[in-house]
Structure 1
Amino acid sequence: MLLNAIPDVRLQHDAPLSLLRVAWTGGAGLQSFRVGSMQLAGLAQRLRVQNCLLEMDTLPDLSAYDQIWLGLHWLPEVFQLPLQQVVFTIKPERVYHQAAIDSLLALARPFIRFDVQFFEQPRAALRWLTHDSPQLPALLAEWEAVISQPELQ
């Protein structure tokens, strides 16, 4: 089910799979990034999300200040979640993003109790994350339907 719970963020939740898919839709601006990130952590807690797909390619490069904020304020919230698997999708050309994520994960390594994986494509990430669930085609179709109709975003 697609959720409209957080401005500038596209969300898809599947309760039976305990899955939350997340993509930034706020364009190049990051005005709502910190507030939206905290709302995301709260939503994931309420939904008891165990599996999360974070699509990083639509998120603009984060400043050093935003990276520090994530480490100090957002990651401690994430560590309270019942996460089992977190998957980041990021294209190889997003070198700055990959370095930022890697540095945050390296700092947080002692506190991470869930599996972290990287994929280039969301479809492959979802196949892995859902163990090729029979629900996967419906999830993909639902997500693609919104992308193909920008006025609904």
Structure 2
Amino acid sequence: MMLRDIPTILMQYDAAAALVRAAWRRGCPLAEFVPSLTRLVAFSCRHPVRYWLMNIDQLPPMGPVEQAWIMESWFPAMAATSVQHLALVLPPDLHNHMVATAPIFNPPTAMTFELHFFPDDATAFDWLLEHDPRRRELWQEWEAELARLHRDAPDCADAYG
């Protein structure tokens, strides 16, 4: 099911697959990063989520505040979830790519899940749900929501209107 609880994030949740799939919406301000990710983690604490797919290729360049928050707060918060596998779709820009992969070189002690990086959604999705019988249905639901979003509210500012 597609959720619209967090305006900055396109979000799909499927209890049967134990999946949260999320993507940062184009044009959303970086100031919403911490509150949005905090809400996404809180959602994952309240629901049985084993698999996370996060696409950050539309995220503005992260600064030192966001970088520190990821290491000091986000990883410990994720430890309270049941997430076992996180697939992160890397952005094309080098700056956020380096920020996103930093945990490989300096792993946080609170890392309680397997983290893998992917160049695109399809590869990440396949890694997470390779054997799930509803995989195709979930993919089609996401694609339909993307088409609707691009038609009705292409930029983040439209989500708040």
> Is the TM-score greater than 0.5?
yes
Q: Tell me the distance in 2 between the aligned counterparts of 1:102 and 1:126.
A: 19
Other-structure match for 1:119: 118
Q: 1:133 offset after TM fit, Å? A: 2.1
Other-structure match for 2:156: none
Unaligned runs of 5+ in 2: 154-158
Q: Which amino acid aligns with 2:45?
A: Q
Q: Deviations over 1:103-152 (max 9, x none)?
A: 24543443223211111111121111012422111111111112112216
Larger displacement relative to structure 2 (100-109 or 140-149): 100-109
Q: Which amino acid aligns with 1:121?
A: D
Please report the RMSD computed on the Cα atoms of aligned residues, expressed in angstroms: 1.8
Instruction: Indicate conservation of the 8 Å contact 1:45/1:81, yes or no.
Output: yes
Residues 43 and 20 of structure 1, relative CA distance in 2, 3 Å threshold = same
Q: Deviations over 1:57-91 (max 9, x none)?
A: 12111111111122222221112211110001125
Q: TM-score, normalised by structure 2?
A: 0.85
Unaligned runs of 5+ in 1: none
Q: Tell me the distance in 1 between the aligned counterparts of 2:42 and 2:55.
A: 18
Instruction: State the identity %.
Output: 25
Q: 1:28 offset after TM fit, Å? A: 4.9
Other-structure match for 1:13: 13
After superposition, residues 43-122 of structure 1 pair within 5 angstroms as: 43-91=43-91, 93-122=92-121
Q: SS where residue 66 of structure 1 aligns?
A: helix
Q: Tell me the distance in 2 between the aligned counterparts of 1:34 and 1:113.
A: 20
Instruction: Indicate conservation of the 8 Å contact 2:4/2:10, yes or no.
Output: yes
Q: TM-score, normalised by structure 1?
A: 0.89
